[in-house]
Amino acid sequence: MKILVLNSGSSSIKFKVYREENNELNEIASGIVEKIGEEISYIKYKSIKGEIRYNEIVKNHEEGLKHIINVLTDKEKGVIENLKEIVGVGHRVVHGGDKIWEPTVIDEYVEKVIEEFSRMAPLHNPANLLGIRSAKKLFSNAVHVAVFDTAFHATLPPEAYLYAIPYKYYEKYKIRRYGFHGTSHMYVSRKAAEILGKPYEELRIITCHLGNGASVAAVYKGKSIETSMGLTPLEGLVMGTRSGDIDPSIMYFLAKWENMTIDEVYELLNKKSGVYGLSEMGNDMRIIEERALKGDERAMLTLKVYVHRIQKYIGAYMAIMGGVDVIVFTAGVGEKSPITREMVLGHMADFFGIKLDPERNENPKKYNGIISTDDSRVVVMVVPTNEELVIAQETLKKVLSSRK
């Protein structure tokens, strides 16, 4: 059995194919169609049989999927001969609002919910839906499953998910914290417990997902009880292009002083802020770090603001959980940036007993991901995330139960 996992963004579709063998899922192919709808798009594909790369005009998601099928069925480097081999398609969906949290087989109702909550995730849900609708057409025999980014955070208590605005707006519009990157926070926190050989249900874990989008979660005895993203992925940490936390009145003043519409301010906070807006040198943390180390003041300042925000959340979550046993770093920056990890935790030895080992921090893989010293009170780890694997596993479960 083979499972296809799709992560459809506004201008890209990322994909992975897994083969089920003895109840285990092994990745056999992956790739991306980038810059959909732009002048020229890039198709990149890698499988156990080789790589394919080409450029083509790709007008929309359906065309993008056709290219994915094209490479997946390639005579030489493809991994499927017939589309029917794909028994399940797992879709990453950002927002299910308060209506759907769990992985769910996609029917008309599910599509309606994704559409309804486009109002809270205008940058994500419409793209997710385009991917779903195209995939349902092209893989009409497969079971299609939506796995929501919010899922893992369904366990947040009201004191964590309510905002202090008139309660009636929670009732009327369901304005509350939902949290995102749930699949990643769940995967890396479980994996950390597994690597340490400790019961997941007994640990207090703080997971830092630092990618282009970034969030922190407090996982208390196996359940997410706090997370930094909110109603939308805009809240919380400083991200690639998103501001994260700001004083809400900044929206009001920017609109007034810059004569911007509320839509323009929203776009500015989502796409022109964060690392990109502060540094004015793009949103690639590799470049920011490189320049900061060479003495560029703005790059260093950006890095400091970025790190400071992460520290605030770690401190807050330690207070909420009454301590912490494990801190996990994951995603692009979290996995690959020893400097960021050192800047975040380097000074926490005295009071918190968090001690990083410099050699382990440079080479986490050599140490099973554990980058703290043996006598550190808190274990610090780097655990590569694998959201697609979780989506594939959830999809496989639904495929199997649909056959009973």
Catalytic residue among 98, 149, 245, 350: 149
Which of residues 27 and 111 has its CB atom nearest to ligand ADP in the complex?
27
Which of residues 271 and 336 has its CB atom nearest to ligand ADP in the complex?
336
Identify whether 263 is a catalytic site residue.
no
Minimum Å gap between C-beta 331 and ligand ADP is 4
Question: Which chain residues interact with ligand ADP by CB under 6 A?
Answer: 211-213, 240, 283-286, 289, 331-333, 336-337
DSSP per-residue codes, 276-333:
HHHHSS-S-HHHHHHHHHTT-HHHHHHHHHHHHHHHHHHHHHHHHHTS-SEEEEEHHH
Which of residues 276 and 313 has its CB atom nearest to ligand ADP in the complex?
276
Instruction: In whole angstroms, give the CA distance from residue 234 to residue 188.
Output: 22
Instruction: In whole angstroms, give the CA distance from residue 115 to residue 238.
Output: 28
Minimum Å gap between C-beta 323 and ligand ADP is 28
Instruction: In whole angstroms, give the CA distance from residue 201 to residue 226.
Output: 16
Minimum Å gap between C-beta 337 and ligand ADP is 4
Give the single-character DSSP code of 229.
-
Instruction: In whole angstroms, give the CA distance from residue 358 to residue 133.
Output: 48
Minimum Å gap between C-beta 275 and ligand ADP is 7
Which of residues 177 and 341 has its CB atom nearest to ligand ADP in the complex?
341
Residue that has been written with the tokens 């964590």 in this structure: 160
Instruction: In whole angstroms, give the CA distance from residue 312 to residue 306.
Output: 10
Q: Which residue is nearest to ligand ADP, using beta carbons?
A: 332
Instruction: In whole angstroms, give the CA distance from residue 51 to residue 7.
Output: 20
Catalytic residues: 149
